[in-house]
Amino acid sequence: MASLPYRDNTSRPSNYGRGDDDDEDEEEEEADESGYKSSKDAVLFAIDVSESMLTKPTGGDDKKSDTTLSPTLAALKCAYALMQQRIMSNPSDMMGILLFGTEKSKFQEGDQETGRGGLRYPHCYILTDLDVPAAADVKQLRSMVEEEEEAADLLVASKEEVSMANLLFCANQIFTTKAPNFSTRRLFLVTDNDFPHASNRDARNSAAVRAKDLYDLGVTIELFPISHPDRGYTFDRSKFYNDIVYSASPSDPDAPAPLTADIKPASSTAKDGISLLQALLSSVASRSAPRRSMFSHMPFEIGPGLKISVKGFILIKRQEPKRTSYIYVPPDSDKPQIVTGVGQLVADDTARTVEKAEVRRAYKFGGETVSFSDAELAKIKHFGDPVIRIIGFKPLSMLPIWAQLKQNYFIYPSEEDFVGSTRVFSALHQKLLRDQRMAIAWFIARRNANPTLVALIPGREQRSDEGEQIMPPGLWIKHLPFADDIRAPPDTEVVKAPDPLIDAMRTVVQQLQLPKAVYDPGKYPNPGLQWFYRILQALALEEDLPEKAEDKTLPKWKQIHKRAGPYVVEWGKVLEEQYRVWQKDNDRQPRINANGGAKRAGGAAPTASSGRSAKKVKADDGGDGGEAGITDAEMRAAFAKDAVGKFTVADLKAWMQGKGIKAGTKKAEIVDAVNGWHETKMEID
Amino acid sequence: MASKEATVYIVDCGSTMSERSHGRKQTNLDFALEYVWDRITATVATGRKTAMVGVVGLRTDGTRNDLEGEEDYAHITVFQDISQMLMSQVRKLRNDLVLSSTEGGDAISAIIVAIQMIAKECKKLKYERKIVLVTDARGPMQTDDLGDIITKLKEDDIQLVVIGVDFDDAEYGFKEESKDATKAENEAGLKQLCNDCGGAFGTLVQAVDELGIPRVKSTKPVPSYKGFLTLGNPELYESAMAIDIERYPKVMAATTPSASKYVVRSDMGDATQSNMTMNGEDGQNGSYDGLAAVKNAMTYQVEDTNAPGGKRDVDRDELSKGYEYGRTAVHIAESDRNVTTYETTPGLDVIGFVDKNQYERYLDMSRSNLIIAQRNNEKASMALSSFIHALYELDSYGVARLVPKENKEPRTILLAPIIEPDFECLYDIELPFAEDMRSYKFPPLDRVVTVSGKEIEVHRNLPNDDLQDAISDYVDSMDLSTFGKDDEGASTEYMPMDETYAPMLHRIHQVIKHRAVFADAEPPPPYEILTRYSHTPDELVRKAQPALDRVLEAANIKRVPHKARGRRGRKEAPKPLSELDIGALLAQDPKRKHKRIDPKNAIAEFRQLIIQAEEDSAVRDACTQLKNIVFEWIRHSVGNSGYGRALEAIRVLREEMVDLETPAIYNEIMQELRTKLLAGDLGEGRGEMRYHVVTKKLGLIKASDLPGGATDDEVSKWRAAG
């Protein structure tokens, strides 16, 4: 058939120019995860607006405004936070907010004309329609949670009890019409009422039936129950909610059962200083992204004839800022529009449209191309079917720290293909943990994917002090570099530090241990990413731009100075002494300008107080040149004589790198940049 | 950047090269060419203009060289002067390097010709000069006065490599019995020559053998950061430490060549026949091979309610840059482009230290780098050394904040000390940030926790003691840490990383090089070493077999029969946590008694009807109902508004029919859908709907996937538009 230039109507044009989404092309290996993530998620928040949900908790601390929020408002704030987060991290995912138990009713805009909305789903009020959020949605929600008057009008509890069956069907209709064919659809239900329709069994049964409809539609209900310890009320899910919540997500029948112990009812009062909002946020955070497997039905061959099945996940992945996209600003309006890009294959010579079937693959070689038929190429690239096959075992100590090529995958057993997978996996996992060993395996992630060698390292389950799982138990797939991927270090001579100097440094290191002597990623938000998010949000919502970024990765200078300062100064003195001794022993003349060396520790270095320019003096002035590249002094001299151009491009680039100077690729541009840098430096100095 | 290279290959084409020695199937010339072509195509593959090659035929029928006036230089033909090698030359040389009918031609003279060629091309410039002679050493050779040649080779720094057909090589373990006397004499002469000029001398069998061991491309180290390693802030405090350091990549994935997209040029009548005959002087942009590159031409659209179809094309020039904030477009003017950049200054600052033994290796992100002191800065080297040793002695790692270049985003990295006899450095690896951690939860593996919170130790998902013991023995018996053998035969680590080669990378290189020379031949099988590590070595398997047998017995693994996954009747209706009998409630529901699917709740009710269905007719009826609903959705769709629902229903229908193994019902419906869409029965302009059905794997269920499915012919007919 003719290839039509249509795109998936539900897909957002976030991947411009990357060609056809439907291209099942396994050619470019590094496309990697993108293929698995084409699936999208839709989350609908359903928030209970009853009298008790609108009641502020007693004993809240007025200074901490979070603790005085009513449960409904806390839930709204939580939804607001999630919306802000998802708009950045999951740009093509949908979100909506449905209030229930309200005096007012609203389903769809159109319904208000016919007046049917109120009749169909009484006491259900769609605050934000299920869609990819727009700036306006965020603004609306913000005014709800930040300005009480806005909320007061809407947040009025209905006198009459809302029908749970109706609520669930309302959600059903929203998902059916707004998010058809989404891979995951979830209803986040926030309530403190564990027993709706307490006296009406039929009404409860109808709700159970509507819940089954949602299940069959592929919608998961995630319950966020709230208890009120100040009123002696504890949410009991067995009264009603266990009839409408199913154990696993229907689209993933093999997902491990939810850790029910982890989903404790949140407390409406600030227990142990944790407000309801914080509790909800952490609860939502743990479920904010649907768990998507990167591969499933993966045969895990532990030995010849010993095969089980596993699923693979990406638990740690670098979150990158968004890429820019094309925007259209109509001449007659200042409202920019999103642009959809449509790719079409054309021949380079005649610009005629090319059918996919005509396309041939060829490699550039010697100024021409070398081509293979698809069948040949498939055969060439075939190293066997997807598998994780253990070749043998080694102690973990044989895995050097540098053996790291790309992000790790996590695997967990699945009973889907082989009954007994879990117990075998568990035995292996325990053995590897106990003996600190790793498996070495041959790994083909997908059909015709590049085969790789990997280490399977055991990961221990980790729980927080509150008992919440922080890191699940399982095996991690670590890609090992091949000989081709390992780079040789540059030639260099090492001057080994003498013992007194090492001793001095050891004291320094001992002063500056991080809490619990571990790196906790949770304590370090990505400062560049956060800044990007804040700016983009400010632009989108027409807020004032923030002045200064918060950067938790900046070392705590003052603490370091206080705790380690004296020891560093001491170390500096030892270095000076030892270096002099070394020079003498090795018959090296003290350099004319010895301060330019390694470090400038405190009072030990004579130029320490002379400010910034001294610090910039780097390599040994008048040093042996050559390998060390151009020294600052040489460059300064060359600049003075207008002779920067005498250096080679490679040397200039090396010199510039340390200065953070940017320039194009042409020599003239580079020389200009270096000259420019010196000109500004002169002014400062 | 790699330095310039000039290599001259001297290939012996003499009539004696037509022999097939030592039971080899190919002639000695073909055997020699296997080596020569591999080397030449490896050079072509680099695509470097500065990697130049010359080719000289020795003992050729004709004579063509700069010294051809002299008798000593007869039967030596310069087939290619030193230049970059391209495909057209490869093709030409394929026709040049053929067996001659002469035995005349002196190899030493050929070396002199090659020396001259190099001198002429390279003059006194910086080049890596090399001459490779491949011969059976059975031609006449004047080996008496080689002094001048040796001096010249040394003077010009030319490396001479002589590779002989069936030369003796004690080290490699090859000795030719009853060697021809001339050959023995020549062989000795050439060997002496190589020894005297510091060249290499080897036997062809070894050279060809070693082609199967991939060559690793070495890359000149380029620093990824140069500057200070600081502890404390030197701008604020006098107590701060700053060491001049340089950072280089330690691991960097080598890139596998990727194929580009091409189509047969429309102006080529018959592309295939012209391949070999065209003399590639005039063509450009890949036209020798009759292919034109394929490009992805983008067109851009914006929503416009007034335009037909709701979308309007906009020109590329009318667009500007910005970001998407949800479904809101945020425009950023050219002048404000930097507004989203987090301004940083380069630096590597220690944040603190952590315990090595508590560090979890799975946190490692990205590839590793290494950090050494600024080169030729002894004081910095000594200072860094104290840092490295202190970390090492304290079993600690450093955590630092790295900004490699101005305005690059900061990263947190781990600093790990390594101390070797002559080398010390810090290895660094990026650490994750808070945003990078996805909190997926999985049940524990060493215990089962029930809904009531009780912990169970005996459960089908938990290994019993037998299985634990067996696995433990198995893991121990499959130990690789001492399975390897080093050069002296002592036990060592098996498959260390520097002896493993990227299979796809070398496989693709191998077949490209092969195809470039032998356009019509089948690609060769992969080198043994590329698949060597895809299986446990047999010896180890034998050793581990008893333990493995015990694991198999204790594990009692059962493959889930493929068909049993979802057959009718066997599938249990899912139940909520309370195990409430929803089926009974559904059956009582007055709205569902008549088994009429409500279009509003179509998918759920369809699934419910299917699971309740006891007869085929009930299944068929449910499908027909759903089909009619889908057709209505398409018919009443405004633009593409109804397509999503329709596609979802079709997907569900397909899933259920595959589960029930009744492909015919689905295929009939899809045939009807095709007919209706093409005939416009479901409204005009439904091409997009058809496109989705075809591309989203919703096509006919194939017989190859499920018995009773459609034939390949039916499938392709169904896909076709006409």
pLDDT higher than 90, residue A422: yes
d(CA B673, CA B663): 15
A–B: how many Cβ contacts below 8 A? 887
In A489-606, which residue ranges form alpha helices assigned H by DSSP? 499-511, 527-540, 557-585
What is each CA distance from A178 to A9, A94, B641, B643, B645, in whole angstroms?
Answer: 12, 9, 10, 12, 9
Closest by Cα among A172, A250, A208, A414 to B655? A250
Instruction: Determine contact, residues B582/B573, Cβ cutoff 8 Å.
Output: yes
Residues in B closer than 8 angstroms to A348, CB to CB, are 285, 292-295
What is each CA distance from B178 to A65, A639, B86, B181, B247, in whole angstroms?
Answer: 99, 73, 42, 9, 59
Interface of B with A in 100-159 (CB under 8 A): none
Banded model confidence at residue B503, pLDDT cuts 50, 70, 90 = very high
For an interface test with A, which of B44, B341, B424, B534 has the most A Cβ atoms less than 10 Å from its Cβ? Answer: B534
* pLDDT confidence of residue B22: 86
* B538 located within any domain: no
* pLDDT confidence of residue A9: 30
* pLDDT confidence of residue A603: 33
The residue among B507 and B459 whose pLDDT is bigger is: B507
Banded model confidence at residue B263, pLDDT cuts 50, 70, 90 = confident
Q: How many domains does chain B have?
A: 2
Question: What is the interface pTM, i.e. ipTM, of the complex?
Answer: 0.86
* B588 located within any domain: yes
Residues in A closer than 8 angstroms to B340, CB to CB, are 321, 531-532, 535-536
Cross-strand partners of B225: B247
Average pLDDT of chain B, as a whole number: 88
Q: Which residues are CB-contacts of B140 (< 8 A; sequence separation ≥ 6)?
A: B103, B104, B105, B106, B182
Domain end marker among B182, B210, B238: B210
Q: Which helix (H) or strand (E) holds A418?
A: strand A418-419
Phi-psi region of A602 (alpha: psi -120 to 50; beta: other; left: phi over 0): left
Q: Give the tens place of pLDDT for each residue, B55-99.
A: 999 999 999 999 888 888 999 999 999 999 999 999 999 999 999
The residue among B218 and A459 whose pLDDT is bigger is: A459
Q: Which helix (H) or strand (E) holds B277?
A: none
d(CA A168, CA B128): 77
The residue among A622 and B697 whose pLDDT is bigger is: B697
Banded model confidence at residue B267, pLDDT cuts 50, 70, 90 = low
Q: Give the tens place of pLDDT for each residue, A304-319.
A: 999 999 999 999 989 8
d(CA B481, CA B475): 12
Banded model confidence at residue A620, pLDDT cuts 50, 70, 90 = very low
* B453 located within any domain: no
CATH code for the domain in which residue B648 is found: 1.25.40
* pLDDT confidence of residue B468: 95
Q: How far apart are the first and last CA of chain B?
A: 56
Whether chain A has a CB inside 8 Å of the CB on B518: the answer is no
Domain end marker among B210, B241, B276: B210
pLDDT higher than 60, residue A606: no
pLDDT higher than 90, residue A453: yes
The tokens for A513 are 């241990």
Do A22 and B696 make contact, defined as CB atoms within 8 angstroms?
yes
Cross-strand partners of A602: none
Q: Which residues are CB-contacts of B252 (< 8 A; sequence separation ≥ 6)?
A: A485, A487, B219, B367
d(CA A359, CA A347): 10
- What percent of chain A lies above the pLDDT cut of 70? 80
DSSP state of A316: B
Q: Give the tens place of pLDDT for each residue, B648-696.
A: 999 999 989 988 888 999 999 999 999 999 888 888 878 888 888 887 7
Banded model confidence at residue B131, pLDDT cuts 50, 70, 90 = very high
d(CA A176, CA A168): 12
pLDDT higher than 50, residue A594: no
d(CA B291, CA B283): 11
Do B363 and A539 make contact, defined as CB atoms within 8 angstroms?
no
Nearest neighbour of B243 by CB, restricted to A431, A523, A598: A598
Highest mean pLDDT among B8-22, B311-325, B630-644: B8-22
Residue reference for tokens 């083909």: A444
d(CA B265, CA B269): 9
d(CA B652, CA B673): 16
Closest by Cα among B533, B207, B42, B513 to A483? B533
Q: Which residues are CB-contacts of B123 (< 8 A; sequence separation ≥ 6)?
A: none
What are B620-628's contacts with CB under 8 Å, separation 24+? B620/B665, B621/B595, B622/B595, B622/B597, B623/B653, B623/B657, B623/B665, B623/B666, B623/B669, B625/B596, B625/B597, B626/B597, B626/B602, B626/B653, B627/B653, B627/B669, B627/B672, B627/B673
* pLDDT confidence of residue A37: 32
DSSP state of B174: B
Closest by Cα among A106, A82, A96 to A154? A106
Residues in A closer than 8 angstroms to B306, CB to CB, are none
Q: How far apart are the first and last CA of chain A?
A: 70
* pLDDT confidence of residue A605: 35
* pLDDT confidence of residue A35: 30
Q: Give the tens place of pLDDT for each residue, A650-675.
A: 778 777 776 767 777 777 888 888 88
What is each CA distance from B521 to A367, A372, B31, B517, in whole angstroms?
Answer: 21, 11, 16, 9
Closest by Cα among B22, B136, B43 to B89? B43
Q: How would you list the strands of the sheet with A94-100, edge to edge?
A: A124-131, A94-100, A41-48, A184-191, A219-227, A266-267
Closest by Cα among B145, B82, B90, B138 to B115? B82
* B270 located within any domain: no
Q: Domain range holding B143?
A: 5-210
Banded model confidence at residue A130, pLDDT cuts 50, 70, 90 = very high
CA of A398: which chain B residue's CA is closest? B481
d(CA B348, CA B384): 13
Do A1 and B721 make contact, defined as CB atoms within 8 angstroms?
yes
CA–CA min distance B569, chain A (Å): 17
Supply the residues of A annotated as catalytic: 37
What is each CA distance from A400 to A455, B179, B359, B364, B417, in whole angstroms?
Answer: 11, 51, 13, 12, 11
pLDDT higher than 60, residue A685: no
* B33 located within any domain: yes
Banded model confidence at residue B108, pLDDT cuts 50, 70, 90 = very high
Q: Give the tens place of pLDDT for each residue, B269-295.
A: 444 433 433 333 333 444 456 778 888
Do A489 and B250 make contact, defined as CB atoms within 8 angstroms?
yes
Strands (E) in A69-218, as ranges, are 94-100, 124-131, 184-191
Q: Establish how many alpha carbons lie within 13 A of residue B13's alpha carbon, considering only the half-sphere containing its beta carbon.
A: 26
d(CA B649, CA B659): 15
Handedness of CA B688, B693, B696, B702 (dihedral sign): negative
CA of B447: which chain A residue's CA is closest? A426
* B455 located within any domain: no
Helix, coil or strand: residue A185: strand
Q: How would you list the strands of the sheet with B319-325, edge to edge?
A: A337-338, A325-328, B319-325, B328-331
Do A349 and B578 make contact, defined as CB atoms within 8 angstroms?
no
Domain parsing of chain A, residue ranges: 38-286, 293-487, 499-684
Do A340 and B301 make contact, defined as CB atoms within 8 angstroms?
yes
* B540 located within any domain: no
* B526 located within any domain: no
Burial B3-15 (b: 16+ CB within 10 A, else e): ebbbbbbbbbbbb
A293-487 in CATH: which number? Answer: 2.40.290.10
The tokens for B34 are 């296997």
- Would you call B614 exposed, middle or buried from its count of C-beta atoms within 10 A (0-12, 13-18, 19+)? exposed
Domain end marker among B163, B192, B210: B210
Q: Give the tens place of pLDDT for each residue, B355-365.
A: 999 999 999 99
Whether chain A has a CB inside 8 Å of the CB on B309: the answer is no
Q: Give the tens place of pLDDT for each residue, B395-451.
A: 999 999 999 999 999 999 999 999 998 899 999 999 999 989 887 888 889 887 765
Q: Establish how many alpha carbons lie within 13 A of residue B243's alpha carbon, considering only the half-sphere containing its beta carbon.
A: 29
Q: Which CATH number fits domain A499-684: 1.25.10.10, 1.10.1600.10, 1.25.40.320, 3.40.50.1110?
A: 1.10.1600.10
Residue reference for tokens 């890596």: B128
Do A370 and B516 make contact, defined as CB atoms within 8 angstroms?
yes
Which phi and psi angles does B367 have, rounded to 5°?
Answer: -90, 165
DSSP state of A513: B
Predicted TM-score (pTM) of the model is 0.82
The tokens for A521 are 């990623």
CATH architecture of A38-286: 3-Layer(aba) Sandwich (3.40)
Q: How many residues does this entry show for chain A? A: 685
